[in-house]
Amino acid sequence: MTTAKSAKQVVKLRAALRDREARVHELEERLAALENSTTMQFGRVFAAAARRPARGAVRLPRQLYRLWRRRDSPQTRPNGERRAYFDLAGLPRPEDRLLLAGPTDALTIAGVFGPGCQDTAAGCARVVSLLPHDAALALETADADLLIVDAAAGAAGGAWAYLGEPGVYDREQALGALMEMARDRGLPVVLWDETRSGEEPGAAPPGLARLDWTATGSPGVSLRRFNPVGVIPRDTVPVVVEPLGGSARVPPGVRRAAADIAAAIGARTVACDPRTLPDLLRRSAITLALAPSQVPEQLAAGALVLCPEPVTERLPADLREHVYTVAEGGAARPLSGGAEGTVPVAALAAAAGGHDPRPALRTLFLRYATPVRLAALCESLGLRADPLHERRVAVLAHVADAADARRLVAGLLAQILRPAEAIVTGPGAAVAAAELAERDIAAPGSATRARSAWVAPWPARGEVPATHLADLVCAAECSGADAVGGGGGEDAPYTFVTDIEPALVRRERYVSGGLPTEWATQGARLLAL
C-alpha cells in the first residue's frame, strides 16, 4: 500500500471510529435512561420480592408507593457528569515508535530467518528475528534499518517452514503484510540467498524468487560461526554434507562424481541441520563439497576441502585456489600452486594434518565474510550503518623522524586491511599524520580519542607483511578474542592463553590499561597466534 493510500485509509478509519464512538455514546445514554426508568425499577422491585417472598411481601407495597411518588421526578445521571468529548489525539499511532529509545551504532536487521541464518547475521548486526505470529508487532517496534528475508526461511524445521512454497497461503500472506509494512516505513526489503555463490544463481523457492525485492544478495559466511580456532583434534574421515533441502537437488552429474569420490576416499555422508553444521565441520579435517555454496563454510571451518570437478568449475576463481579438485579415480590435485602436484588418496590424511587454513580464511575475510557482504549491501542501499565497524583498527606507532614516518605510512597503505586510524607519536608524527590524513586515515592523537574497535601496536622492527592487520583481525573475528598476539608455544598456535604480547587489543581494554595477565584475570579472552 502506498503512503497516500495508507493516509486515506487512516482518514476513513478515523471517521468510522468517530461514528462508532458516537453510537456507543448514544447507547450509553439510552441504557442509563432505561436503568433509571420507572418500568425498570418496577421490574427490579418485583424480581427482588419474588426472590425472597417473605420479606418482599412486607416491603413491596412501600417500595411501589415510593416509585409511584417519584414517577415524575427528574432523574440524576448515574455517572455524575457528561462524558468527555472523544479525543483521537490520545490514541496510539504508528508514529509513536519514533519516541522509543534504543541507542546503538550497529546495523539493525529485522529478519525472517531460516535455521542458522540468524546466527550468521548476529555477529555483525543487531538482529530482530520475526516469527509468523509476531512479525508485524516486532517490526513496528524494532527500529530496524532493513528487512531481510532468508531464502532458506521456508526450510522444514523452522518457524517459517514452507514459506515460498506455492499454496501455503498463511505464510505467504504474513510475509506479504510484512513487506508492505516495511515499504510503508521506507525500509529496504532484501532477499538473502545463501545458495548464491559467485555467478551461480540461488535456489530461493519460487514463491520468494518472484517477489519484488529492493535487493537480492548472499549473506556470505560468518567466520565467527565456523571459527576454526581452538579445535580439538579433527576427524580425518572425509565428510560429505548433504546441502540444505536434500540430496535430490544435487545435479545428477555432481551426485555421480561425488559418489565415486566418496567411495574412493572412504567418506561418510551426513545430513545436517544448519544450526549444528558449524560443529560438524569444525570436527572434520577433510570435507567433500557437493555445491559451490558449501565451499566457503567448509573453508571457514578450517577443513581441507575437496570438490568434484563440476563443483570446482562453478566456483569463483579466488575460491578455486583453496580447494582440491578431485579427478576421476579419486586422486586429488591442487588447482593452483601446482608445486604440490597430485595428492594421492592415501596421503589425504597427511595432507589434512599439514593443512594451513589461513590463506583461505584471508580470502573469505576480505571478500566472502558476512560483514563485507552487509557493508556492500548497506552501501548499495544508502544505509548509514557500518557493519565493518568491528574491523576498524587504530594503529599505534612511534616514528623517530620523517623517513620513519614515510616508512610507516607506506607500510600502513600496503595493508590489505587498511587501518581506520593511526595514533602516531614521536618526532615524525606530524609528517605521518599529514600523509595519512590525505588517505582518509584519521589521526586522533590518543587511544582514548580513537573510535576504532581495535588498537594495534605497529611492529617497530622488520618488514611488516601486507596481511599483518588482516590476519590479526581475521583471527579475532573467527575466535571472538579480546586480544590477539604472540606468546603461545610453537607447538600450540591459535590457542587461548593467559598472557600474550598484544598485537591487536580491543580499544576499551587497551584504554583501561593494565597488563595482559590482568586482562585475562578480568575475563578477557587472549588468543596466541
Partner 1 sequence: MRPRALVYGDVDLNLIDGSAIWAQAMVQALAQAGCAVTLVLKAPVRTARLVDPLAGLPEVTVRRPHLEGLTEPDQSMSPRRAVRVLTAIDAERPYDLIVIRGRQLAHLLAHSPLAGRLWTYLTDVPQSAAEFTGARRGELKRIARASRFLLCQTEELRCFLESAVPATAGKCVLFPPVVVLPDELEPAPAPSPSPAASSAAERAVVRSAPLKLVYTGKFAPRWNTYEMTGLPRRLAAAGVPAELHMIGDKIHRDPADPGFTKRMRAALEFTTGVVWHGGHPRGEAMRLSAECDIALSWRDADLDTSLELSTKVLECGALGVPVVLNRTPMHERLLGADYPLFAATEDDVVDVLTAAGADPRTYALARDRCLAAAAGFSLDAAADRLTRYLRRAFPARRTEHAADTRRLRVGVAGHDLKFFSALLDYLKSRSDMEVRVDHWPALKVHDPKRSKEIAEWADVVVCEWCGPNAVWYAKHKRPGQRLVVRLHRFELYASWPGRLDIDAVDAVICVSPHYAELTRKITGWPESKVVVVPNWVDVDQLHRPKLEGVQHHIGFIGMAPSRKRLDVALDVLEELRRDDPRFTLFVKSKLPWDYWWIWQKDEERAHFEEVFRRVRRSPALAGAVVFDPFGPDVGAWLRRIGFVLSTSDDESFHLAPAEGMASGAIPALLNWPGADTIYDPHWIHATPAAMAASISATVRDGLWDDERRLAHAQVRDSYALDKVCAQFAGLLTGVTNVHGQYT
Neighbours of 276 (CB within 10 A): 12
User: Whole-angstrom Cα distance, residue 264 to residue 249?
Assistant: 23
Q: Which stretch binds partner 1 (CB under 8 A): 171-179, 288-296, 346-354, 470-478?
A: 171-179
Q: Using an 8 Å Cβ cutoff, are 443 and 434 in contact?
A: no
Instruction: Report the residue number, 189 or 378, with the smaller CB distance to partner 1.
Output: 189
Choices 167-175, 377-385, 396-404, 503-511; region in contact with partner 1 by CB under 8 A: 167-175
CA dist., res. 465 & res. 416, Å (int) = 9
Judged by beta carbon, residue 161 or residue 215, the one nearer partner 1 is 161
- Count interface residues toward partner 1 (CB under 8 A): 38
Long-range CB contact pairs, 5-9, < 8 A, 24+ = 6/184
Query: Cβ distance 132 to 379 under 8 Å?
Result: no
**Closest CB 201 distance from partner 1, rounded Å:** 7
Of 176, 329, 359, 427, the one binding partner 1 (CB under 8 A) is: 176
Write down the least CB distance from residue 214 to partner 1, Å: 17
State which of residues 67, 161, 264, 345 lies at the interface with partner 1 (CB under 8 A).
161
**Residue 165 CB, nearest distance to partner 1 (Å)?**
5
168 binds partner 1 (CB under 8 A): yes
199 binds partner 1 (CB under 8 A): no
Tell me phi and psi for residue 140, to 5 degrees.
-60, -35
Which residues ranging from 123 to 152 are in contact with partner 1 (CB under 8 A)?
Answer: 129, 131-133
Residues 337-366 that bind partner 1 (CB under 8 A): none
Nearer to partner 1, 129 or 479 (CB): 129
Please identify which residue in 110, 115, 411, 474 interacts with partner 1, judged by CB under 8 A.
115
> What is the 8-class DSSP label of residue 99?
G
Quick one: how far is CA 447 from the chain centroid? Answer: 29
Q: Which three cell numbers stand for residue 162?
A: 514452507
| Of positions 25, 97, 183, 275, contacts partner 1 by CB under 8 A | 275
Nearer to partner 1, 115 or 330 (CB): 115
- Contact indicator for 290, 256 with CB cutoff of 8 Å: no
Q: How many residues does the chain have?
A: 529
**What is the contact mask toward partner 1 in residues 202 to 241, using x (rule: CB under 8 A)?**
---xxx-xx-------------------------------
| Given 2, 3, 104, 173, the residue binding partner 1 (CB under 8 A) | 173
Pick between residue 246 and residue 486 the one whose CB is nearest to partner 1. 246
The DSSP string of 22-59 is HHHHHHHHHHHHHHHSHHHHHHHHHHHHHHSHHHHHHH
Angle at the Cα of 137 from the Cα atoms of 132 and 138, rounded to 5 degrees? 80
Output 167-176 pairs: Cβ under 8 A, ≥24 positions apart.
Answer: 168/207, 170/132, 171/132, 172/207, 174/132, 174/135, 175/112, 175/149, 175/211
Q: Tell me the closest approach of the beta carbon of residue 307 to partner 1, in angstroms.
A: 17
Residue 408 as a binder of partner 1 (CB under 8 A): the answer is: no
Site string (466-495) toward partner 1, x via CB under 8 A: ------------------------------
Listing DSSP states for 328-383 in one string gives TTS-EEESSSGGG--B-GGGHHHHHHT---HHHHHHIIIIIBHHHHHHHHHHHHT-
CA distance 235 to 301: 13
- Using CB under 8 A as the binding rule, whether residue 169 contacts partner 1 is answered as yes
Residue 398 bridge partners (DSSP): 425
The answer for 143, left when phi > 0, alpha when psi is -120 to 50, beta otherwise, is left
**Using the rule CB under 8 A, is 283 a contact of partner 1?**
no
The piece of 96-104, 214-222, 272-280, 471-479 that touches partner 1 (CB under 8 A) is: 272-280
Closest approach of Cβ 70 to partner 1, in Å? 33
User: Which of 273, 309, 318, 499 is the binder for partner 1 (CB under 8 A)?
Assistant: 273
Write out the binding residues for partner 1, residues 42-81 only, by CB under 8 A.
none
Task: Count the Cβ atoms, other than its own, within 10 Å of residue 64.
Answer: 15
Q: Nearest approach, Cβ of 314 to partner 1 (angstroms)?
A: 10
Q: Residues with Cβ < 8 Å from 363, sequence gap 6 or more?
A: 299, 318, 319, 321, 322
Q: For residues 53 and 252, which CB has a smaller minimum distance to partner 1 in the complex? A: 252
For partner 1, give the closer residue by CB, 262 or 443: 262
Residues that bind partner 1 (CB under 8 A): 115, 118, 129, 131-133, 155-159, 161-162, 165-170, 172-173, 176, 201, 205-207, 209-210, 246-249, 251-253, 273, 275-276
